[in-house]
Amino acid sequence: MINFNYETDFKLHSEEAISNWIVEAIRLENHKLEEINYVFCNDEYLHKLNVEFLNHDTLTDIISFDYSIGKIVQGDIFISIERVADNAKDFNVPFEEELHRVIIHGVLHYCGYKDKSDSEMALMRKKENHYLAFLTKN
């Protein structure tokens, strides 16, 4: 089950299509979905979580809390809409593309992908691009 929650003035255009896309990505990664809760929020909301739970006094676009066990995917993903909008401008991409990248990025972490080293980041980006292309085909 995928739940979308809103702590800011924002709403996904097509929750069902996004949900189906996420479920399919998880399936293609040979994992099984239990539950993911997405919380769309602002910088202030996410900054508080970053300080309180991760001891990071910085702004970020996403924080994920992974409760997955083995190949059973579950967790909470918090996304700052303000950060996504700023990143979209910085990377010169449409807001929705950057939002979808961040949405699938959290899922890929739950499927075991990391992004600490250059090689891990390269594989993560390749996987993000693969699933972004999959979304635009459907």
* Annotated binding-site ranges for Zn(2+): 105, 109, 115
DSSP-assigned states of every residue in 53-82? HH---S--SEEEEE--BTTEEEEEEEEEHH
| Residue 131 Cα distances to 28, 95, 136, angstroms | 10, 17, 9
Amino acid letter, residue 132: L
Residues with Cβ within 8 Å of 104's Cβ and at least 6 positions away in sequence, in order, are 21, 22, 25, 127, 128, 131, 132
Question: Using CA atoms, how far apart are residues 72 and 110, in angstroms rounded to an integer?
Answer: 9
Which residue ranges make up the annotated binding site? 105, 109, 115
